[in-house]
Structure 1
């Protein structure tokens, strides 16, 4: 589910070999800064331009400051619904023509995605078609067609996507259930429900609900436009002013409220999964938002614990104890501006009780709480982290997304390159400290995914 790309894996291998041979690792090398410019249009649209002539490609990337966190009880799934609705046509673009026009212009890598904090839309094109990408994004920001027909059609598409990707897949529904169960919906509904939305909420949504949601969040004053690649800034600014400048600003969206205390007591939950063949155990802990000073140590800890064949969990639980067929550790499922979840999970081996898997998972965590990690483990985790970040900046799309992430989650586009310093500064003492601070029993939730009992 979260395997690294071959390129990232190759870089990580080079880093590990360099460490073993006493050669300088990637950790000792600096990342060249991404030169970029920020400005804001009178209607509130934030613009970031990052010029790079290494390839004749440009990327147009729009992030709307809306995701599952902006939804309310009984009306979930709207942000994800608009990921689909935004391709249903606008005043000057017929339904389905957005992607067709990009392809005819030689573009690729176009789509939209939804997360807890944002919805993004993007396309990469030959540099001489920058105008096309900007015009398309502006036209749907200005005049999206929200008709009853489009709404009903895309609601059914989203429901089918939920059936295909979640409800009819083993373990996925249980995993998402585990993630959302850690956050208290009474005090932080923003992060306590699934991004894709529930079937009941999707069925209950009305056209007026959807129109109101769009008017509130899909306006220029709630969006950031990033352009990266082979372009002239003066030309890009002129096009952006021409296409986006007269789009009216919308109302200021309501603030998101979220209070999630830590260390509120151990919780246990059991979920039956009719698609599962083996039990799965999730041990989860609440952790802070991405910009927290503790986040880098927690993310590197998750790598040491459960990323790859040499991780502690894989060595102890899969290889030595042979108690699980697979294990993993994750510091959340991506950055957030609110509380996140540290996850360890294991899929029990045939004939092994879930209690045994749970004990083995928690034993490995407690070994770090009490004894910490060694310098070699930390260096390897840092090198893997750095390699993945370097690989992510190799394309105009990767740089655009990195600029957006730095802006949203760290509040400063300049953190696109300086953020790595937070991770490289982590010490073995930091790893032990955050493990003791957050990975404690009274801050945990244990979720058991049980196969459905088959009756003869």
Structure 2
């Protein structure tokens, strides 16, 4: 039986897509905006701009001083944050019902009039903030650049997903103030944005309030290109090795996958669950429990929009284990899965995990708002939140076997190996 969360949708004359999902269980409302700009929209020489604006959007606008967005919301018991990803930038706040108009006014001011506050001094300040974030989260963390290495290994150099969302510090240093202003004018407009209200608000009330505060904004976004054609699997293995001061040897093994919300992606996701995504997965049973050659295994599938998605497996080598043996075990289990497909128990376990994760996400007002924005921006259908599990349940063993053969073939893997630096004494031993 499908889920039945209420979903009401309307598009304002300026192109802003508005979704309202009433939920009166608690007296607050989540305001969630997805702007159709992420790192995949950046041009060569201009990487890092999408993430930079995640910071700039809290540094003041025409009628709001720097930092006041947070201060005003916290003063009424609200909370706010933002994230940047390949396909979008997300801004969100949860406020008591009586503060909804405040939240919408703040969003209208920064989405419509941010550039009044983006001065050279403000730009220079936030560039330094981004650089410090990169140092803390990427450069000075064990395995901190592993995913960036994986993107570069899995996706071609000219592909929009080749570079990470943090971008290039050299590109940010070279950016002139007008370059940054032009980026905002190109992407930050109501006709490139989805706004979702989830919580203690009725549909007509929500549409009226959004129209009052964001309706006057002008539709200025430039038309976007359609998503790229589906990118096929790698035609031969790719390998990147780094020797660093990390706690243990770790392998990241990546694969190109079908695009977001496709039937093949659901099947490939189940395959990755069977391989390494469950506590009962094949690699967990074999390498962690039986052979004790790994201390942990993990698998993920990230649905993306621009012609390809990403799947990867992470294996942490146990002390004394040759990482090559772990990689061989992964290859062997992939070949077995491609030959025989998942067992009924494995398929049931994968479905149970998907259901638990999905229902848990929808039970959270903030996560539900985020999913409604996602499906509206990327797939033009917020109602997919209610039917997602039906598509997951439709996956059959033959679908998993076919997806494994097509998308998870061993020769289609990209391996990023982080090897622990060893002393001369350890190397001799």
Shorter-chain TM-score range: over 0.9
Give the superposition deviation at 1:362: 1.2
Look up the match of 1:81: 52
Match of 1:59 among 16, 30, 35: 30
Look up the match of 1:48: 19
Give the superposition deviation at 1:48: 0.9
Q: Any residues of structure 2 matched to 1:138-287 within 5 Å, and which?
A: 138-144=108-114, 145-186=117-158, 188=159, 190-255=160-225, 258=228, 261-287=231-257
Partners in 1 of 2:423 and 2:173 — Cα distance? 31
Please list the CA deviations of residues 21-47 of structure 1 after superposition, one character each: whole Å capped at 9, or x if unmatched: xxxxxxxxx353122221111111111
Look up the match of 1:94: 65
Partners in 2 of 1:273 and 1:122 — Cα distance? 39
Q: Any residues of structure 2 matched to 1:4-43 within 5 Å, and which?
A: 30-43=1-14
- Secondary structure at the aligned position of 1:361 is classed as helix
- Secondary structure at the aligned position of 1:227 is classed as strand
Partners in 2 of 1:409 and 1:275 — Cα distance? 40
Partners in 2 of 1:302 and 1:388 — Cα distance? 16
In structure 1, the gaps of 5 or more residues are 1-29
Give the superposition deviation at 1:330: 1.4
Look up the match of 2:393: 424
Match of 2:358 among 383, 389, 392: 389
Going from structure 1 to structure 2, the CA distance change for 1:341 and 1:299 (only over 3 Å counts) comes to same
Worse-matched range after superposition: 158-167 or 31-40: 31-40
Partners in 2 of 1:115 and 1:241 — Cα distance? 27
Partners in 2 of 1:149 and 1:429 — Cα distance? 59
Look up the match of 1:8: none
- Secondary structure at the aligned position of 2:348 is classed as helix
Q: CA RMSD in A?
A: 1.8
Look up the match of 1:5: none
Going from structure 1 to structure 2, the CA distance change for 1:36 and 1:263 (only over 3 Å counts) comes to closer
Give the superposition deviation at 1:278: 2.5
Taking structure 2 as the reference length, the TM-score comes to: 0.94
Taking structure 1 as the reference length, the TM-score comes to: 0.88
Task: Give the number of aligned pairs.
Answer: 423
In structure 2, the gaps of 5 or more residues are none
Look up the match of 1:26: none
Look up the match of 1:367: 336
